[in-house]
Amino acid sequence: MQTLRKYAQHFTKLELMKARLEVFQNESGPEGVDFIIKTSAGNYHELYLQTVNLEKDRSVKISKSVLGEPKDNLWIALVLFMKEMEPVLYLIPSNQLAKPDDYIFIDNDLGEQFNHLSSYDIKIFVKGMEKLSEYALDNMISKLE
């Protein structure tokens, strides 16, 4: 899994640079934030990297305690891997997780007592790919400005 994550980090960084964004590895910022990006307009955004190997998994769990409160400049960078296909990068606004659709985005809120176990889930399945494709990097670049 660590090798896949390292590859996802490099892939994400290259894709963001191709989109003409400045990319900084988060060395000392908040836990869970992997990258900080700067747009040409000077706006900064935090990215929380998640990977899914579709040969093994069909969803990703994001711990609420690690992600923190959803906000306008916090994004989930979701990289999907599938055998013999190029990886695909999606940028999902963290605010979308706070408004679950119970289709792709699921809120597993276990209440105050078990908040440390609460998570957001992102489901990946064939019928949901059309909805998920709305968050493809090319479709989201303009929303970063």
Average pLDDT of the chain, as a whole number? 91
The predicted-structure confidence for 44-103, as pLDDT tens digits, reads as follows: 999 999 999 999 999 999 999 889 889 999 999 999 999 999 999 999 999 999 999 999
Residue ranges of domains in the chain, CATH in brackets: 2-56+69-96+128-144 (3.40.1350)
Task: State both tokens at 128.
Answer: 């949901």
Confidence of residue 31 (pLDDT cuts 50, 70, 90): low
* CA–CA gap between residue 25 and residue 100 (Å, rounded): 29
Q: Residue 60: phi, psi to the nearest 5?
A: -135, 140
CA atoms within 13 A on the CB side of 114: 7
